[in-house]
A = this chain, B = another copy of it.
Amino acid sequence: MQTKTLGELAQYVDGKIIGNPGIVIKSASTLERAGEGDISFLANIKYEKQMQKTKASAVIVGREYTYTAGVPLLVAEDPYYAFMQILVLLHGHRKHKKVGVSPRASICDTAKIGADCQIHNFVTIEDDAKVGNGCILYPGVYIGAGAQVGNDCIIYPNVTIYDGCRIGNRVIIQANAVIGEDGFGFATHKGIHHKIPQVGIVIIEDDVEIGSCCAIERGTLGDTVIGQGSKLSDLVAIGHGARIGPHCLLVPQVGVAGSATLGHHCVIGGQVGIIGHINVGNCVMVGAKAGVINDVPDGKVLAGVPAIDAGTAKRAYSLIEDLPEMRKSIRDFEKRLAELEKPDKS
């Protein structure tokens, strides 16, 4: 952990200071928990009133924030990004122990391991697998035959990577995720489900992060692809042959069915389901719990089951609550109309 002055931090993130630039900052914390020497941040206006009570030595805020409750401010164009930069500077990312290549790992003779790798006990690397330079494989990791892992990857405990899959550079896979299990492919004939060999693989491009307990199926014939820089959170299911474009964010418990494609920079909310064989465009946002069942053009924001335009969905779904009242009105209208339609009314 490093110590910096507020002035040094402002310079580092190209921000401005309201207050004393000489204040010493030792670490970062939340507004609620911060104490002397901590820098905090306000990225969500919901927490603004915590500014009154915080004991932080300084707070990172956006340019639209002008009021100071006595606490020194570091004003940044993108306060959350500035906070990330400062957090990396002060705390750094996780440090990994240097363990070298453990003799208690199980590494086939035909596997190739790059330089500076940390291969823990109880790791298995099968025939003809390749692991690049600077990789960290935690205990219980399994790398199947012929699988390839690029440089500088971090693979946490008990991750399984099946045979032949290809992992790019700087990929992070959180514990207990599975890459490349057989796709759910069966030909049903006379009531029996016959297993279809899943000949494709999974390709994970550079800079991807995969969450814990994700399950990413290998393709039947084509490949399943997770595009460069995309991030998957925990318990996400990706079907065989699906292609997730670059720089997407998939939050927990999302399911993308087989052969669906997503463009770049999509943001998919929690527990969303995307059915198979559809094309979701670029920069599409899907609200939590939605069910996407049709092709989606670029830039759409969707919500609901079935997913529709999010603005429409917000109004429409909030009216479900009013259905009993609406039906009551309809029944009432029926009576009143019948009354009005009586011959003697005209």
Which A residues fall within an 8 A CB radius of B?
28-30, 32-33, 44, 46, 78, 80-81, 83-84, 87-88, 91-94, 97, 104, 106, 120-122, 124, 126-127, 138-140, 142, 145, 156-158, 160, 162-163, 172, 174-178, 181-182, 184, 186-189, 191-197, 199, 209, 211-215, 217, 221-222, 229, 231, 233-235, 237, 239, 247, 249, 251-253, 255, 257, 265, 270-271, 273, 275, 277, 288-289, 291, 293, 304-306, 308, 312-313, 315-324, 326-327, 329-330, 333-334, 336-337, 340-341, 345-346
Q: Which residue of B lies closest to A102 (CB)?
A: B106
* A253 proximity list for chain B (CB < 8 A): 237, 253, 255, 273
Closest beta carbon of chain B to A228's beta carbon, Å: 10
Interface centre among A87, A271, A346, by most B CB within 10 Å? A271
Do A321 and B308 form a contact, CB below 8 Å, given A158-B142, A222-B32, A291-B289?
yes
* A91 proximity list for chain B (CB < 8 A): 197, 199
A345-B342 Cα distance, complex, nearest whole Å: 12
Contact B327 A319 (CB under 8 A): yes
* A189 proximity list for chain B (CB < 8 A): 78, 81
14 further A-B contacts with Cβ under 8 Å, apart from A28-B221, A81-B187, A312-B321, are A29-B222, A97-B127, A106-B120, A106-B139, A140-B142, A158-B158, A184-B233, A184-B252, A195-B209, A235-B235, A304-B321, A316-B322, A329-B333, A336-B337
Do A234 and B181 form a contact, CB below 8 Å, given A215-B211, A320-B304?
yes
Closest beta carbon of chain B to A118's beta carbon, Å: 12
* A160 proximity list for chain B (CB < 8 A): 140, 156-158, 175-176, 212
Q: Which of B213, B291, B320, B345 contacts A176 (CB 8 A)?
A: B213
Contact B289 A222 (CB under 8 A): no
Contact B345 A334 (CB under 8 A): no
Contact A93 B237 (CB under 8 A): no
Contact A288 B273 (CB under 8 A): yes
Contact B157 A175 (CB under 8 A): no
* A239 proximity list for chain B (CB < 8 A): 252
Q: Which residue of B lies closest to A289 (CB)?
A: B291
A274-B121 Cα distance, complex, nearest whole Å: 38
Contact B323 A87 (CB under 8 A): no
Q: Which of B211, B229, B237 contacts A252 (CB 8 A)?
A: B237
Q: Which of B139, B215, B323 contacts A212 (CB 8 A)?
A: B215
Closest beta carbon of chain B to A311's beta carbon, Å: 10
Lowest 9 CB-CB distances: which A-B pairs, in order?
Answer: A215-B234, A160-B175, A84-B187, A237-B252, A142-B157, A212-B215, A319-B323, A178-B212, A184-B233
Contact B255 A191 (CB under 8 A): no
